[in-house]
Amino acid sequence: MTDEMPAHAKDRLKGLRSSAHATGVFTSDFSVNEFLLVRKAGFEPIGLCVGTCVYHVGIQYRSWSKNQELDVLSKAMYHARELAMSRMRAEATAMGADGIVGVKLTIKRLEWDEHLLEFIAIGTGVVHGEGHTGFRAHDGGPFTSDLSGQDFWSLLHSGYRPVEMVMGSCVYHVAHRGILAGLASVGQNVELENYTSAMYEAREIAIDRMQYEAEAAKAEGVVGVDIHEGSHGWQTHVIEFFAIGTAVLPLAEEIAPEKIPNPVMVLSVND
Amino acid sequence: MGIFDIFSGPDADTVARRAAHDERIADIEESLRNGGVPAAIKDRLEGARSGRRPWTATLRPAELLIARSHGLKPIAAISATCWLHYGWSWTNGHSEGWNMALSRMREEALAAGANAVLDVKMRTIPLDVENSMDFTLVGTAVHVEGLPPSREPIIATVPALEFVKLLEADVVPTGIAIGAYYEWMNDWLNNTNLTWMGNIESERLSQLWEHVRQRAHQNLRTNARAQGNGVLAHLNFSEMFEREGQNKQKQYLARHIVVATTVDAKRGTTIPHEVRMVVDMHAGRSPLVGTAQHHQSYASNESEGAI
């Protein structure tokens, strides 16, 4: 990387900024450290990108005593997230961003109607300082990533670049007791096999869907995978299993391998 | 399925989905009962190992960097669950439940062709089913370059950075040890009633606690000895209850659970590096700081509003 930014890149940045923000001001939700590291990685923030979606979740009948995926709810969670994410991405595209870092995806319940959920995706659109377009996703649009600015820098320096935030969801109804009734009096610890297998099935469906999305994005791997469970105000035995991560590809020519520093081992003296 | 479809019967799509569900569940139950790995999971792990499908890792990018520079190749995020009903003992159930989940995780690691599982987190789903609880482990199976797949993969509850730090210091994290103990105490002579005694130690309750804690740690040592020669990063959980038994006499239940990472450490070796002061640029959850968030199953892991 040269110290001087080329003139055409400067022009391009100026143009981008003025088209999205008449004042030439960039907006971001970066902390100071994040801002410095994103710039150190060779990127400039250009603006916050937001996508929202208020979604009415349909009704699904379920049998009280059965383990089953609630596909109406699974599809709703997928569709609503997809809408919020694609709106955010469209905003980034309009700004001319090469990618969005630090995407936060949240779900809120609207208090007056239990079937209404509000999905919000928010992140900071960035452009490469030298106008390198090799960082874009496989479809030529901006990459998306839930990694923070610090993680973004670290990822690039481990020889990978983010491609797409990938996720898998499975809303699952875990059977109520019934099989338990007979066990309650028995004085021993036993495994509840149908609960265990419910966890296995639901989790596997979620992970498999996430991995499928990564395949579709032509990624080599997925970092920062988080597998967790949430209940968005549903009845107690309905749980969403959610797998999320950032699909990555190895850097080809974007950063030369010799520029990647050897990591320094540190023992933190903070507690 | 729409609201009126229940009258017309399930469509072909629904029928196929139900059949797939029944088949999957049957396979999962059968595999777990025989100590194996369910077919769908085995297939996914095999795909990730061979490069046919993307690898997955719970590692953060900084951890990925250190893993790669030290020859650790991520294969797949793996998990294991045991849902246990404690009809006999809640306290001992914790030891049984975690140990069962550990052995299942080891099977998945084997199926992934891994040498070790890093970043293993202990989790519980906040689902209130009477007298039972799930014991869930989530981690990343890795292959150590230059080594054949291990018959006995290491289960390490530390993040990748700490795993490498330990290895550099010639310390191998080997697994999880659990010590659990509980005891009932009957207060026949009403010794715990200290209403008119002023400032005084409640000796009976002190003794109960002492005893329960010592026994729990004794169990921990026994459990750890099979896996290594030391434990790190303790997690302590204890509770005491009072209830009225027959003739209004008081009964007390004290329970104590200790969970720790076992290590195999050569005595007298120190880290080969100098210690340097640095400024940590991470905001919030720095991988440099502790492993506290790793054992979160004794506190709720549900955060309001998050995805």
Dihedral of CA atoms A266, A268, A269, A270 in degrees, nearest 10, equals 160
Work out the angle between the directed axes of helices B39-50 and B90-111 (0-180°, nearest 10): 50
Residue A214's pLDDT band (cuts 50, 70, 90): very high
Residue B306's pLDDT band (cuts 50, 70, 90): very low
Most confident segment among A21-35, A199-213, B76-90, B267-281: A199-213
Distance (Å, rounded) from C-alpha A11 to C-alpha A1? 18
Contact A61 B307 (CB under 8 A): no
B306 neighbourhood in chain A, CB within 8 Å = 106, 230
Distance (Å, rounded) from C-alpha B34 to C-alpha B44? 20
More confident: A130 or A201 = A201
What pLDDT, on the 0 to 100 scale, is given for residue B113? 92
**Closest of B115, B64, B307, B145 to residue A221, by C-alpha:** B64
Residue B65's pLDDT band (cuts 50, 70, 90): confident
Distance (Å, rounded) from C-alpha B143 to C-alpha B102? 19
pLDDT at B7 over 80: no
Residues 6+ apart with CB under 8 A from B197: none
More confident: B122 or B293 = B122
Q: pLDDT digits over A102-128, tens only? A: 999 888 877 787 788 889 999 999 998
Stretch A89-111: mean pLDDT, rounded?
89
CATH architecture of B51-168: 2-Layer Sandwich (3.30)
What pLDDT, on the 0 to 100 scale, is given for residue A180? 53
Distance (Å, rounded) from C-alpha B289 to C-alpha B283? 11
What pLDDT, on the 0 to 100 scale, is given for residue B305? 31
pLDDT at B235 over 80: no
Instruction: Tell me the domain boundaries of chain B.
Output: 51-168, 178-276
Work out the angle between the directed axes of helices A149-157 and B61-69 (0-180°, nearest 10): 20
Q: Which residue has the tokens 């419910």?
A: A198
Go through chain A and tell me how many residues it has. Answer: 271
* Residue of chain B whose alpha carbon sits nearest to that of A118: B305
Decide if A35 touches B, using CB distance below 8 A.
no
Contact A204 B44 (CB under 8 A): yes
More confident: A104 or B286 = A104
Distance (Å, rounded) from C-alpha B202 to C-alpha B204? 6
Distance (Å, rounded) from C-alpha B269 to C-alpha A175? 53
∠ Cα A136 A138 A142 (to 5°)? 35
pLDDT at A269 over 90: no
Q: What percent of chain B has pLDDT over 70?
A: 85
Residue B170's pLDDT band (cuts 50, 70, 90): confident
Q: Number of Cβ pairs closer than 8 Å across A and B?
A: 229
What pLDDT, on the 0 to 100 scale, is given for residue A13? 54
Q: What backbone phi and psi angles, to 5 degrees, belong to A224? A: 60, 35
What pLDDT, on the 0 to 100 scale, is given for residue A190? 82
**Closest of B121, B165, B180, B181 to residue B263, by C-alpha:** B165
Contact B29 A223 (CB under 8 A): no
Distance (Å, rounded) from C-alpha B80 to C-alpha B64? 23
DSSP A209-223: HHHHHHHHTT-SEEE
Mean pLDDT of chain B: 81
Mean pLDDT of chain A: 81
Task: State how far residue B200 is from chain A, nearest Cα, in angstroms.
Answer: 36
Q: What percent of chain A has pLDDT over 70?
A: 80
Q: Burial letters for A187-223: b for 16+ Cβ neighbours within 10 Å, e otherwise?
A: eebebbbbbbbbbbbbbbbbbbbbbebbeebebebbb
Residue A157's pLDDT band (cuts 50, 70, 90): confident
H or E element: which one contains B44? helix B39-50
Range in A2-16, A99-113, A218-232, B11-25 with the lowest mean pLDDT: A2-16
Sheet hosting strand B230-244, strand order edge to edge: B171-187, B250-265, B230-244
* Residue of chain A whose alpha carbon sits nearest to that of B23: A201
Stretch B159-187: mean pLDDT, rounded?
85
pLDDT at B121 over 70: yes
pLDDT at B302 over 50: no
B6 neighbourhood in chain A, CB within 8 Å = 61
Pairing of strands B230-244, B154-155: unpaired
Distance (Å, rounded) from C-alpha A214 to C-alpha A200? 21
**Closest of B135, B101, B153, B162 to residue B296, by C-alpha:** B135
Counting Cα atoms < 13 Å in the Cβ hemisphere of B187 gives: 22
Residue A266's pLDDT band (cuts 50, 70, 90): low
pLDDT at B195 over 60: yes
pLDDT at A28 over 50: yes
- The three-state secondary structure class of B223 is helix
B66 neighbourhood in chain A, CB within 8 Å = 263
Q: pLDDT digits over B137-169, tens only? A: 999 999 988 888 788 888 888 888 888 888 888
Range in B23-32, B152-161, B283-292 with the lowest mean pLDDT: B283-292
What pLDDT, on the 0 to 100 scale, is given for residue B286? 57
pLDDT at A2 over 50: no
What pLDDT, on the 0 to 100 scale, is given for residue B220? 92
A226 neighbourhood in chain B, CB within 8 Å = 58
What pLDDT, on the 0 to 100 scale, is given for residue A40? 86
- The three-state secondary structure class of A91 is helix
